[in-house]
Each structure stands twice: as structure tokens, then as C-alpha cells.
Chain A
Amino acid sequence: MKRIHYIFLLGFIGLASCKKVIDLYPESNLNTETYYSNLDEVKAGLTGAYNSLQKPIYYEWQLTELRSDNTKQGNPGSTSSNNRDLSDLDMFTPSTSHGAIYQYWLTSYNSIRNANLILQKLGVKYDPAAGSLSFQSISIPISDADRKQLAGEAMFIRAYNYFNLVRLFGGVFLNYEPLTPEQAKTMNRVSAAEIYKLIEADLKTAASNMNTLKFNQIAGADLGRANGWAAKGLLAKAYLTLNRKAEAIALLQDVKNNSGYALLTGANAYANVFSTTNEMNSEIIFAIRFKAGGLGLGNLLPNVFAPLSSGSAVIAGDGDGLNYPTNDLDTASMGDPRRATNIGVFGTGSAAKLYVKKFIPPQPSVNDDTENDWPVLRYSDILLMLAEAQGFSQSSIDLINQVRTRAGATPYAAGALGNVAQFEQALSTERRIEFSFEDQRWFDLVRFNTTLTTITAEQAMKDHFAREYYNHYRQYTAPALTLVQLQSNVTKEHLLLPIPQREIDTNTSLVIPQNPGY
């Protein structure tokens, strides 16, 4: 019997040694509170922010290229929900609950969140009233040069996202530091000008803080990181969008003359810009990078764009046949050597289909996992923006011709562009072909409303509908729209997208204004 008492004792010994049972910490993951304590860790965090640039790209084409005159939803007879959702964007009738609009919003802000986190850790503070950034003291052992470069890259990422958001949605929410959910609920939309203020502050600071080594001096390993030239180029585009042409010109001249970036040369110069064997070439000032090989970093858009029911003839794993080039674009591209790179034709005779060929790698391997980078800012864009900012002038025509010559297209002969209208039309078409399917066309058209005098986005879209109506839009049933009805959807208000209904619904203490027209 006495022995039994030892068992009893055992229980009490246990009591004393149990505290450890509940003092547990994550074992497989680091966390935001303790990480970012040295240069390498901040760098890894910034890499994470770059990664988050990829996701919005999956939705961006739906909100930009599809709504422009470059592409359309390719299956007018289809009544499937996916295709109808695309058609709603294509035909200017998106619902405020549209899935792609929400996803783009969310993923862009997610990228902003990652950038904000890095900037906070680097002690960067934004003063919204003054529109200025300042560096606070921090405890991370990091050199001033590194700090400025890393902060500059994070600012670029933030500004890039805001620039897209403000152009698509107008004044959005200004989130420039990590916030709690409670703080977020006290914030409403701000004006577009407030957003541009942050974009300008970010890009200006980034441009002056980041390295501005000439292209051929950039360390190989740093290619792909945002640099001073990328910040200047993007800022120039923001200025141009705001019709601050003089400031844009100064920046563009700087990039054009001093960056070391240049147009490619040679027989297949244009095709080589996008070749997966020639990435980060001298035309790519900034691109969102993708990498094949089962890394979770592959680009899946080539499969989205490849023609439906093409088996493996175009790309491994068949295509979805979305983002379908318009006949109009095809016609405009006829005779231009760039058409062969941009637009593919699948099938023959009556079965022939156009498709977006630009991003389809020549040797497809694994589906939904291709190498193709997504160009954001190219050197030819710098040249054409400069032409746009300068307006109708011989030097502007020379810039256009420079781009055309590189592509193997015939340059405009002296006097061929005899007036503003001809010049602007040529510029518009040049950009349209040069940047086909790069998600530029929509932003271009809207920007032309202010930068050009003879082209408006509304008219361009109405003309596009008129040109495609008989062969395409007429085939929609449910409901079948007349051309007039279709064109009446194109209003100035509809140049902006609706704020996602979900975002409006989530805040019940503030009234968040929806964009007019929705």
C-alpha cells in the first residue's frame, strides 16, 4: 500500500513543471514584429513587396486593355458568368460587385501594404498636409545609402500602385503607413489630387535617393529593381497625366539623354524586347518580373490569352481565349512589322481567330507558368511621352520615327503629318501598336482627353463600338443592344470604375461615396 503513495506524488511533481506547455511561439514562420532587424531582413521584406506586384497584373488587363479599343471579350454568344463579367467591363456596364474590380483593388492595396511596412521599418514618414516625406531615426544597423535605395524602391512600388488606382478609380483611400482595422474605418476617400501628392512625393524622393547609374553600369544582380530612372519615368507619366507637361519634359529629357537605356537595334529589335531570352534589355526601364520553373513565380497570362481549343499548338495547356484583339487593332496594325509580334492568328479560313501573341513564349513548357516579364515602363514610352508632351513639332515626329525605325516600320516622311490632328492621330496609333496589350491603351486614351486636342477617349470608344458592332457586339443576346445603346454606355463618368461595393459595405460608420454613374 505504501508504494501507492509514490504514484500520488507523481501527480504533484507534474504540477510544478507544466508552465512550458503553454508558452509557445511560432516555429515555422517569422513575424512582422521581430523581423526587419538588419539590412538583409529589410531587403527580404522588400523582395516580398516586389512579389506582390505580380498579382494585380492578373486583373489589370480586364480593367484596362479590355475596356479600350484594343481587345474585346471574344465569345459574344457565350452566356457563361465569366464571359458575361468580362463583357460587362468591355461594354461599360460593370456591376459595383464585379469580382475583377475588387480583386485588382485588393491586390494593389496589398502591394501598398507591403511597401508601407518596409517604409515604416526604414523610418520614412509621410506628411499628407505638406505632401512631403521625411526620414526618422531608426535602430536598424543600415547604411544611409542602403536605406535611401531600399526606401526609394518601396516608394516606387507604392507610387506605382497608387498611380494605377487613381487613374482607374479617381480619388481612393490614402493609406501610407501600417494601419489598424479601427483606424481604417475612420478614413474616407480623398481627392485624386491628394493621391497624386503622395505619388509625386514618393517618386521625387525615390528619384533623388536611388541610384541613377547608366543602364550598362547597373550591376547585373540589380536589374529588375526600381532605380532612379524608373522613378523619373513614372513621375513624368504622372505629370503628363496631370497635364504638367513642362515638368514631364524635363524628366523625360533627362531619362532620354542620361539613363543609358536605349532602343534595341537589329532585324528583330521589337520582338527581342519581349523575348524571354532577352529579358531586362536596354528598353525595359521597369518590368514586373515572372519566372518559370515551378517557383510560384510564373506568368499565367499567356495561357489566359492563347486561343481557345488550340490544344498545345500555341501554348502547352491550351488557352482560354480571353482578351481577344479587336479587328480594328488588327487593321490598324496591318503593314506594321510589329503586328507579327503582337497579334497571332490561329486556324485558317473561317476558323481563323486572332489572339494576343506578344507574351506567348516560343517554346512553351509547363502551362500557367511562363517566364514572360510584364513591361511597365519602356524606353520607347519615354520617347513617345516626350513627343506627346512636346506636342506637334518636328522633334516630336522625329521621336515617333525613331520608334518606328527601330521596329522596321516606315518613318513618316517630311510633311506627312501636316497638322495637329494628323500628328495626334499618328502618335495615338503609334502608342497603340507599340504598346499593344501592355495595358497602356486605356490610360493613354483617358490621358489624351487632356494632353491632346483632337482625340477623346469617349469618341475613340464610340468609334470602336461602331467599327466592331456588326461583327461582334451585335451578336450579344440578353439583352441585345443597339449600337446607340451600346455607345450611350460610354460616358465621362464611366471612364472611372466603381469603387468596389464590398469596400463601401464594409464601413458602416462612414458613408463612402460611390463614383457617379454607378
Chain B
Amino acid sequence: MNTRRLLLLLFLQGFFFCAAFGQKQITGKVVDSATGEPLSGVSVLSDKKKSGGTTAADGSYKLSVDSKTSVVIFSSVGYTSQSFPLAAVPSTVRLTKAANALDEVVVIGYGTVRKSHLTGAVSKFKNEKLDEAPVSRLDQALQGKIAGVQIQNTSSEAGSDPKIRIRGGNSINASADPLVVVDGHPVPDGLSYVNPADVESVEVLKDAASAAIYGSRGASGVIIVTTKSGKANRPKYSVKASTGTKAAYERYPMLTMTEYGNLLYYEASLKAKDPSITPPTTSQIMTPAERAGYIIEQTLLGGQPTNWQSQALRDATVRNLQLSVSGGSNTAKYFISGAYQRDDGMMYHSNYDRFNLRTRLDVDLSKRVKLSFNMNPSYIKRERPSVNYIDFVRFYSFLPVYHNDVTAAFANQSALWGNLKPGDFAQARHFNGRIYSGYMPDGSFYNTVTAVDPFSTANNTPKSIMETRSITSNDYRVMSSGDLSVNILNGLDFKTMASAYIVYSNALDFAKRNSNKDGDVNRGQYNSRLMTDLLWENTLTYNKRIGGHSFTLLGGFTAQKTRQRDEQQQAQDFPSDNFTTMNNAAQVTLPYVDANGVQQGTFNTKFGIGLLSYLGRLTYDYKSKYLLSASLRSDGSSKFAPGHKWGTFPAVSLGWVATQEKFLRDVKWLDNLKFRGSYGVTGNNRINDFLWVDLLYASNYDFGSGNGTLVSGQAPTNPVLANKNITWEQTYQYNFGVDVSLFHNALSLSVDAYQSKTKALLLQQAVMAFLGSTQTINNIGQLQNRGIEAELTGNVIRRKNFRWTVSANIAHNENKLLALAGEQYFLNYGERTEVYRNMPGRPLVEFFGYKTDGVWLSQQQINDAKAKGLTSNLSNLFVAGGLKLVDVNGDNVIDDKDRVVMGNPYPDYNWGLTNNFTWGQFDFSFLLQGSQGGQLINGDANYNETKRINKNYIENRWLSPAYPGDGKTPYSTNGFNWMLTDYVVEDASYYALREMIVGYTLPAKVTRLAHLSGARFYFSAQNLYYHSASGYRGINPEARFNTSQYATPLVDGYQRGSFPLPKTVLFGLDINF
């Protein structure tokens, strides 16, 4: 519309405003501006809001309006509203389809739906600045941005998988990870290889009704990733580059040996002033080993302690480079991108490199036949440190990393270490078995008299292990798919898609001679895996519109077959440390099963998994006002025994768009009000294969004279007992939602409340150990998840030069175990024998143990308690300065019946708050993200070193009756095992300035001069500020263990020796031309 027309309109408007009052009849027709097809159900309104109507099926309308009417407004969902002065209403109004939020197309699995017609709980996240987030992975970039999707970086190591839970996770034992679907292909590890810059949008199917179309795999929600495709245009090039650094946000506060010695002497000086105890004798202040360590640090190291954490950590480089080109004609479009990402870890030898190439072609073969082709090879190279960070944290400062002249000469005095030279790695054993003499913190001279071991370990220092053992892996993936859509009849489309996801990966773990211990032979382990996942999908879609009724019918069947072949070679004793292939090994290890039931040695295995599905869906709406969607999927899976393979998953959802009703149409401030309700059934089949039969593994033995001859044997060594009757887990979920948009979309709010019940839980439960196994798998128990989640988007300021938008989300979920097949509860053990309880009527996992009431302040207090009849058989309980357990049941005996619930790992709230500011060419956004109310068990407390030299465990500790510290902190070595008590349960709440991006986009006139279509610079940062709860004694409240005992959702909330949080800053550049 040019300026002259606009002026004319204004003129006319003024004219009519002055015109006489009265009724006026208007008629006309409304059509789609693109197709020319008549539009029904379009609302036609006068601005006086006294009259209005809708267009008929042929697009025509007839309306009598108040003659005071100045403007007539034509609006319809999905179209940009138009208004005309009463006198200037054209006879045919052409409405243009709008790119308005409500009319966004949302991918829902085997189809799409307009957001306005959505009836389930689906969140869409468009890639706007996703690729500018200072993280390497797509899932990490989504953290805090979607209500009800909890993403937790359980390890900050480069390239590691975060834990993703949608609505709390509905499974106990089968995996509670959501299903990931990339461009229509459900992939087991999709989010690891997807290049964030290739992503067009991410949809999350949260409620069961939406996820039910994925049937047996939908119970934990579905994440659908859609990648970018080309648009008809001349070639558009885009270059994105960013680089930055990453460093640890915080380190553990560890004491040096000198500080520790000073502390012990200071504490001894206090104890000496306490008349109620025998003052510590000189020999009791420090053990000979501690004194030796102190002397080494003071003399051999010249008072320069080693900072082991600095030996582990570095300022790492993060780098990203991407080039893409897209374009095409009206019939053929392409999008091609290549990307390289380097994400170095904060720890040495932690590296992650990713190369992605992606080609997408969309071709209209004819008017009715469309072809789409996707090819996405990628390569990920990863190196992982061979030592856990905790091993550095807890290492003593008196040991040098490398021998210097002094320490080498000292070690050379021992016959065993005569060959050591300065520059060689120093090891604890080089200092053991020697007599030490030197000055103590109080100036006294001390001589150990007998030989002592300052640090009694046979293990090498973490730095030397790290440098002599390397763990690397290579993942080669190809995701390729082709689909062909045929428009058979008007409204009837057939689509067939074949896709292949092929992953070849190999890993090498090679330790040089003497890597872990002295005399360690060199060892190598090579793993390779070939996984091919083939999917064939056929769907038939029928669209029909009869008057105000419109239908979409979908029917289809899919077959997915995964084959996997794993090979492992374990070999040792190589003639040189420079080999990294197995062919020169003197010994190849035969297959065997280790104590944890893990297959070891050299082996190759293969297996297949198959899934066969039939699916159907009906979506219906009446005048975009009443919405209905119903689906049914039937899945057959190879994971279960014959007779238990098939499951059926129905779903139905309803919607009512209240703003389409006459009585709300006039409410000007209300743009959209929609109510949604759904019910659906989803399943979970993600358990290990063939748990329905006990498998046999190599379990050999040697018989015969002399050293015997190997005889092959077979035994059922899997610690999980099979169960033939296992089948699907089913989740039944209700969801109620409301969507509101107010004040011309200045504010939109979506609130969803849900309740789900998971039945026939696939549960890996503990069995009596006298069966000779530790666990079995079973379909028992019921779990309930209830929650509410809200997403709010506000366009707070919408000026031309300054815009401020806020989007906030918050989710609350509470789970409750409803039944455990008649069991009263389960108790599960973690690695430090800490106990996790699962009890019906309670949250799924609760920390279970002894309640403490500070520490025993004195022997007198213990004696008094005993005099009152308190007894216990628990070991090390009645020790002054040790934890004081509460006799909860009041029977005067402290025993296992006094154990109580000490907390649970589930946060009350997870929230995220994003603010976006645009001011002229500048933009600024930041994300605050937090989690409130969960607890964790901090396993650091188990470590002797942590207890002694970690400041968080020493400050205010008990020393003697007169110096009880805060009365709550036990003396490191005294008393009852901390890990069995609430002393190790800590608040896991946190909030963080998770992400911040400042950008500047060059003005168009500048870019034009440079023949560019756009250029932008930005600075982005992660974790600039991080706040963890008081009482938390670690450095990363998000860290969790999720392997071995902790692989099951029944044992959750444990961390130890967590890797530091990363603080990342990076600078980026985007150029389009």
C-alpha cells in the first residue's frame, strides 16, 4: 500500500466519521489472496462492536452495521486481519495467510498442525538464537527454555549427554529419556550429532495424547527435531563463526599439606586448653605419615605445594564454523551446510570435535509428486580424560608432579628408585618406606624414627595416568532419508519414506607400560560398533472440508529394524608403548564376564531389534472452533517374548477456541482463548534386549595337570534375572491446557496441568541375593506424575526502535509411587551403601537413612545417654565428635528401624526466564534458569581425603567438648559412617545466569555497501553467575551419577567428585550474502 492510498484512506475515514448515523447493509465475499478460494467462517466486524457475522461456505457475507461504523474488520485464524473504512470495503476481500504465532505450523509426528488447532501439550521452539548459545549441543541449548522439559548437565565433560526429563519421566526402570525423532526418523542418539545451526525448530510432545502416535516409545515424551530446508530464491550463503574459551566456574577448596599441618597444630593448641580431655600428646597431633607429608612439602618441595586441580584443568577453546548455502527454483530447492565444531573440555585430554555435512533437496517431480531427500553424514571425534577429576581433587599437595633435582636425588637413595631422573613422573611410592625428619608447624624438630609411607597407595598420580593412558573414540554417522509424496486425488496424499541411520563407531583405550601402577603391563582395548537402523514408513493422508467441518485422516504403517554388531579386542603386553593396534600384543584376553556381569575380553556380538507399527489419526475441526484429534497406534516389538509383543496405544484430545465464539469476538483485548483437554496411552519398551530369557555367557575354567588346560564353560552370569512375562509399560495421561493471548498478542500464556499414571512398570527390582543374582525385571507397580507448567511470553515494549520481550516458563511436577505389586517398599543401595527407598504413596525415590542431631559433644553426653538406657549395635556409633543419631522410634535402641526419609531428588520447580531486548541494531538477551527444592546425596563425604583436606568439611568441626565447633560438623575420622545419615543429604537448588548474548547487526545500508545481505556480531556467555544453595558442599549441584547402580531411575540423586561447572565466553560472527 503506497502512501497516497494511505492518505486517501485516512481522508475517507474522517469523512465517514462525520457522516450521519443509521444502519447500513454491506455484502461481499472473502477469498484467500493466494489461491483465490472462498474462505468460510471469516469474522466480519464493525469497530463499534455492535454487530458482526461470519462468512458462509462460499465466502459470502451479508451484514448490517451501525452507520457510525468507521472501520470494518475481516479476521480469520491463520490470516492477517484487514480493516477497511465502511465505504471502502471492496466487494472481494483478499486475506493473506499470516505468519502470526497462532498460525505457526507445528510438527506433531507423521504430520503437522497449525498451532491454533493444536489440542495437545506441544511446545515449539524455533531456532532463532539457538546456535548462538555458548554450548556445543542442541539439548544443552534448550535448557531452561521449554516448560516441563528438564535438562540437566549431569556432567560438564565435553560432549557428554545431559539428562532430559519431560514431565518428570514416567518410567522407573525402562529408560525415562524422551524419544528423539530427527526429520521423521526416531534415532537412539539423535541429539548428540545434530548441528544446532541446522535446526529449523524443535517440537516437544509432552502429553500422552500427542506422544501416543509414537506408541510404545512415547511414554517419556517425544522431541522432534526438524532441520532447515531451502526456499525458492537465488543462492543464499551464510557463514557463521564463533570462538571462545571455557574455564571452571569454581574449584574445590582443598588444603595444602602445609595448611593442613598448621590446622592440626592450631586445633591441638585449642584441645590443650580443654581441661575435660587429656591433652593430645605430640604424637597424637599428627600421624607420622602426615608429618612426613608436611616435611616433604616444606623441604623437598621448598614450600611449594602442588595444586593438583590446576594439573587437571585448563582454559579450553571452543570453536564453531559453519557454511551453508540454500536456494532453488519453484520446483527444486536445496539446503547444504557444512559445519565444524571444536569443543575442548576444561580438563586436559577432554576434546570433542564434530564435523557435519548436510544436504537437503526438495523437488517437485510433477504437480502431484514431490520428492525430498536428506543426507547428513557426520563425524565426531572425542577424547576423554582417563582419570576422573575427583582423583585430582583428592590428591595430596606434597607430592610433586615431576621429580626435580631434589626429589629425584631423594628417591634415588632407595635401591628401588635408583634410576629416577629429574623430570620423571613422581609417584607416591618413591617417597614411601623412608625415615623423615624436619621441623613441624610449631618449630619443633621431628624424626619419624621408623620408616613411614606418607601416602599409602600403589596407584600412580592422576597426572601421570592421564598422560600415559588415552581414551579416544570416533563416531561416523550417516542419516539419510528419501521420501516421496504423491497427491493421489484431491485431498488424498500418499507418502512413503525410507530412511537409514548408520552409525559406525570405534574407540581405543590404550595404557602404556607402568601407566596405572609400577610394573603394569601395557594394555589396549579396541571397540567397534556398527549399528544400522532402517525405517520404512508409509502414510496415507486425506484432507476434506465440508462446510465448517474439516477432517484430516491419517493411516499408516511403519517398520523399523535395528541391527547392531559389537566387537571388542582386549590385549596386553605390547613390545612397545607406541602401538595402538592390537596385532603386536603378546596376549589377547579371552571373553569372560567380570564381577559386575559386564562382558570383558575379546568378543563380538550381534543382535537385532524390530518394531512393527500400524497407526491412524483423525483430526477434525468445526469452523476452527471445536477441535478434535484421535489416534491409535499398534506396536509389535522384538523386545518381548512371543505372545507379549503387541501393544495398542489410543489417544483422544479436544479443543475449544472460545475466541471463535460470537460472545468473545467483540472482546478486543482478548486475541485468543483456547481450552484443550486430552487423554492418551503411551508405552515404554526401552529395556535391554532379551530380558525374557536368561542368556549364557562364556564362563571358562581350567582342568588338567600342571597349569591346566582351558575348558570352555557357560553360565548365566547376567546379574539381572530374566522374566518371560514382561511386556509394555503403559502410561495413561490426562492433560488440560489453556492458551490465552491478550492485547494484540502483547501477552500470551499457556498453562497445562496433567496427571499421568504408569501401569505395569517395567521394573528392575532387587531380588534376594541368595538367588545368586542381584536383580530381576518385572512389570509391576504403578507410578503417578502430576504437574502444572506454564509458559508466558510478553512483548513488553514494541516500539520501532526498542523492543523487549520476555518469555518465562515454570514447571512443577510431583511423582508418587502408587503400588509395587504388593511390596511394602524397596530399598536400593548406592556405591557407598547409601540407601534409596521406593515406597508406594511416596515420591518414587527417597533418601533413606539415619537422622542426625548434630554430633556427640562429649563422652559425658554419651555416657548420660547410655545411662538412660540408650543402646545400639551399630558400629562406631558412640564416639564423641561423631554423628549423633536420633532414636526416632523412641525404643532406646538405635538400629535399622530408626531409619527415616531424608529427602528426595525431585525439584519442586524448574524455571527459566529469557529476556530479549532489541535496540536499534543492538540486541541483548539473557536466560536465567533455576531449579528449586530438590536434594542430593553428596558422595564426597565418603572420601577420607575430602573429609580431611576439603575446607567445606573442616570448618567449624568438633574438636573437643570445650571446642565443639558448630556442634553439627563431626570430626573427620570420628564416629558413625556419614554416608548412612542425613549429614550427606544436601540442597540441590540453584539458579544461574545460564546464558547471555549481546549482538549487533550491521545496518542494511552498510551491509549493502559490502555486497552482503546481512552481518551480525555477537558475544555470548554461559554461567556468568551461578548460585547454589547454602549447605551444598560441592561445586556443581547439577552433577549426578547415572551409571552402574545409578542407571535405574529407582536410584537417583547421587553425586561425587563432580566436574566443575563451565563458564564460557565466546565471540561470534554471522555473515549472509
A280-B708, A351-B433, A502-B829 known; A315 vs B519 contact (CB < 8 Å): yes
Q: Is there contact, CB below 8 Å, between B587 and A95?
A: no
A112 within 8 A of B: yes
Closest to B696 in A: A30
B823 within 8 A of A: yes
Closest to A93 in B: B875
- One digit per residue, 1 when the CB lies within 8 angstroms of any chain B CB and 0 when it does not, for chain A 71-106 equals 000010111110000001000011111010011011
Q: Which of A14, A95, A222, A350 contacts B450 (CB 8 A)?
A: A350
Q: Is there contact, CB below 8 Å, between B699 and A294?
A: no
Q: Is there contact, CB below 8 Å, between A296 and B700?
A: yes
A1-B368, A225-B703, A477-B287 known; A18 vs B559 contact (CB < 8 Å): yes
Q: Is there contact, CB below 8 Å, between B538 and A47?
A: no
Q: Is there contact, CB below 8 Å, between B695 and A30?
A: yes
A179 within 8 A of B: yes
Give the shortest distance, in Å, between A82 (CB) and chain B (any CB).
9
Give the shortest distance, in Å, between B284 (CB) and chain A (any CB).
7
Across-interface contacts of B826 in A (CB, < 8 A)? 506, 508
Q: Is there contact, CB below 8 Å, between A309 and B433?
A: yes
Q: Is there contact, CB below 8 Å, between B709 and A316?
A: no
Across-interface contacts of A105 in B (CB, < 8 A)? 769-770
Give the shortest distance, in Å, between A62 (CB) and chain B (any CB).
15
Q: Is there contact, CB below 8 Å, between B713 and A117?
A: no
- One digit per residue, 1 when the CB lies within 8 angstroms of any chain B CB and 0 when it does not, for chain A 156-194 equals 000000000000000011010001010011010000000
A114-B715, A295-B592 known; A505 vs B827 contact (CB < 8 Å): yes
Complex-state Cα separation, A479 to B737, whole angstroms: 60
A15-B557, A47-B700 known; A351 vs B608 contact (CB < 8 Å): no
Q: Which of A96, A175, A277, A280 contacts B896 (CB 8 A)?
A: A96
Give the shortest distance, in Å, between A55 (CB) and chain B (any CB).
6
Complex-state Cα separation, A8 to B484, whole angstroms: 10
Across-interface contacts of A225 in B (CB, < 8 A)? 703
Across-interface contacts of B456 in A (CB, < 8 A)? 75, 78, 308-309, 321
A405 within 8 A of B: no
Q: Is there contact, CB below 8 Å, between B696 and A32?
A: yes
Across-interface contacts of A418 in B (CB, < 8 A)? none
Across-interface contacts of A58 in B (CB, < 8 A)? 595
B886 within 8 A of A: no
Q: Is there contact, CB below 8 Å, between B538 and A14?
A: yes
Q: Which of A8, A95, A296, A353 contacts B977 (CB 8 A)?
A: A95
Complex-state Cα separation, A11 to B610, whole angstroms: 18
B1010 within 8 A of A: no
A279 within 8 A of B: yes
Closest to A366 in B: B521
B611 within 8 A of A: yes
Across-interface contacts of A479 in B (CB, < 8 A)? 876, 879, 882, 974-975
Of the 9-residue stretches B40-48, B128-136, B153-161, B599-607, which lies at the interface with chain A? Answer: B599-607
Give the shortest distance, in Å, between A470 (CB) and chain B (any CB).
14
Determine which residue in B434, B573, B699 has the highest number of CB atoms from chain A within 10 A of its CB, and name it: B699
Q: Which of A7, A22, A221 contacts B636 (CB 8 A)?
A: A22
Q: Is there contact, CB below 8 Å, between A173 and B770?
A: yes
Across-interface contacts of A46 in B (CB, < 8 A)? 713
Which residues in chain B, 696-742, are within 8 Å of chain A measured between CB atoms?
A: 696-697, 699-717, 721
Q: Is there contact, CB below 8 Å, between B702 and A291?
A: yes
B289 within 8 A of A: yes
Give the shortest distance, in Å, between A292 (CB) and chain B (any CB).
8
Across-interface contacts of A223 in B (CB, < 8 A)? 703-705, 708
Complex-state Cα separation, A41 to B609, whole angstroms: 28
A113-B773, A509-B824 known; A317 vs B518 contact (CB < 8 Å): yes
Across-interface contacts of A280 in B (CB, < 8 A)? 704-706, 708
Which residues in chain B, 754-803, are within 8 Å of chain A measured between CB atoms?
A: 765-774, 776, 778
Across-interface contacts of B636 in A (CB, < 8 A)? 21-22
Closest to A19 in B: B612
Instruction: Give chain B's interface residue range (CB within 8 Å of chain A).
Output: 35 or more
Q: Is there contact, CB below 8 Å, between B368 and A79?
A: no
Across-interface contacts of A128 in B (CB, < 8 A)? none
B693 within 8 A of A: yes
A8-B486, A296-B600 known; A18 vs B704 contact (CB < 8 Å): no
Q: Which of B416, B484, B595 contacts A313 (CB 8 A)?
A: B416
Across-interface contacts of A364 in B (CB, < 8 A)? 519
- One digit per residue, 1 when the CB lies within 8 angstroms of any chain A CB and 0 when it does not, for chain B 620-643 equals 000000000000000011100010
Which residues in chain A, 348-363, are within 8 Å of chain B measured between CB atoms?
A: 349-351, 353
Q: Is there contact, CB below 8 Å, between B610 and A21?
A: yes
Give the shortest distance, in Å, between A400 (CB) and chain B (any CB).
30
Which residues in chain A, 459-498, are within 8 Å of chain B measured between CB atoms?
A: 477-479
Q: Is there contact, CB below 8 Å, between A508 and B772?
A: no
A110 within 8 A of B: yes
Q: Is there contact, CB below 8 Å, between B705 and A220?
A: yes
Of the 9-residue stretches B180-188, B233-241, B941-949, which lies at the interface with chain A? Answer: B941-949
Determine which residue in A51, A184, A349 has the highest number of CB atoms from chain B within 10 A of its CB, and name it: A51
Give the shortest distance, in Å, between A258 (CB) and chain B (any CB).
21
Complex-state Cα separation, A137 to B440, whole angstroms: 79
Q: Is there contact, CB below 8 Å, between B873 and A296?
A: no
Q: Is there contact, CB below 8 Å, between A296 and B486?
A: no
Q: Is there contact, CB below 8 Å, between A50 and B701?
A: yes
Across-interface contacts of B601 in A (CB, < 8 A)? 294, 296
Q: Is there contact, CB below 8 Å, between A350 and B458?
A: no
A312 within 8 A of B: yes
Q: Is there contact, CB below 8 Å, between B714 and A4?
A: no
Q: Which of B604, B609, B694, B710 contacts A24 (CB 8 A)?
A: B609
Across-interface contacts of A291 in B (CB, < 8 A)? 702, 707-708, 710
Q: Which of A26, A319, A503 contacts B769 (CB 8 A)?
A: A503
Which residues in chain B, 550-596, are within 8 Å of chain A measured between CB atoms?
A: 557, 559-561, 570-573, 587-592, 594-595
A315-B519, A503-B770 known; A297 vs B712 contact (CB < 8 Å): no
Give the shortest distance, in Å, between B332 (CB) and chain A (any CB).
19
Q: Is there contact, CB below 8 Å, between A94 and B638?
A: no
Q: Is there contact, CB below 8 Å, between B943 and A29?
A: no
Across-interface contacts of A503 in B (CB, < 8 A)? 768-770
Q: Which of A23, A45, A97, A371 contacts B980 (CB 8 A)?
A: A97
Across-interface contacts of A109 in B (CB, < 8 A)? 769-772
Q: Is there contact, CB below 8 Å, between A95 and B875?
A: yes
A293 within 8 A of B: yes
Q: Which of B284, B708, B715 contacts A45 (CB 8 A)?
A: B715
B453 within 8 A of A: yes
Complex-state Cα separation, A349 to B414, whole angstroms: 13
A383 within 8 A of B: no
Give the shortest distance, in Å, between B1036 (CB) and chain A (any CB).
22
Complex-state Cα separation, A396 to B701, whole angstroms: 38
- One digit per residue, 1 when the CB lies within 8 angstroms of any chain A CB and 0 when it does not, for chain B 477-496 equals 00000001010100000101
Q: Is there contact, CB below 8 Å, between B715 and A172?
A: no
Give the shortest distance, in Å, between B391 (CB) and chain A (any CB).
14
Q: Is there contact, CB below 8 Å, between A297 and B702?
A: yes
Complex-state Cα separation, A28 to B369, whole angstroms: 44
Q: Is there contact, CB below 8 Å, between A320 and B701?
A: no
Across-interface contacts of A295 in B (CB, < 8 A)? 589-590, 592, 700, 702, 710
Q: Is there contact, CB below 8 Å, between B875 and A296?
A: no
Complex-state Cα separation, A349 to B608, whole angstroms: 64
Q: Is there contact, CB below 8 Å, between A79 and B710?
A: no
Q: Which of B287, B494, B712 contacts A8 (CB 8 A)?
A: B494
Q: Is there contact, CB below 8 Å, between A297 and B700?
A: yes
Q: Enumerate 20 A-B pairs (CB-CB under 8 Å) in ascending A order.
A: A4-B488, A26-B607, A27-B605, A32-B694, A47-B701, A55-B595, A77-B288, A79-B948, A97-B977, A111-B772, A175-B771, A181-B765, A225-B703, A297-B702, A309-B453, A351-B450, A366-B587, A367-B521, A478-B879, A503-B770
Q: Sorted from nearest, which 10 A-B pairs have the closest CB atoms?
A: A296-B592, A47-B713, A113-B772, A48-B715, A478-B973, A351-B451, A312-B519, A309-B429, A309-B432, A48-B699
**A11-B496, A14-B559, A48-B715 given; 11 more Cβ-contact pairs under 8 Å:** A21-B611, A22-B638, A26-B607, A45-B714, A77-B287, A93-B876, A114-B772, A297-B710, A308-B457, A503-B769, A509-B822
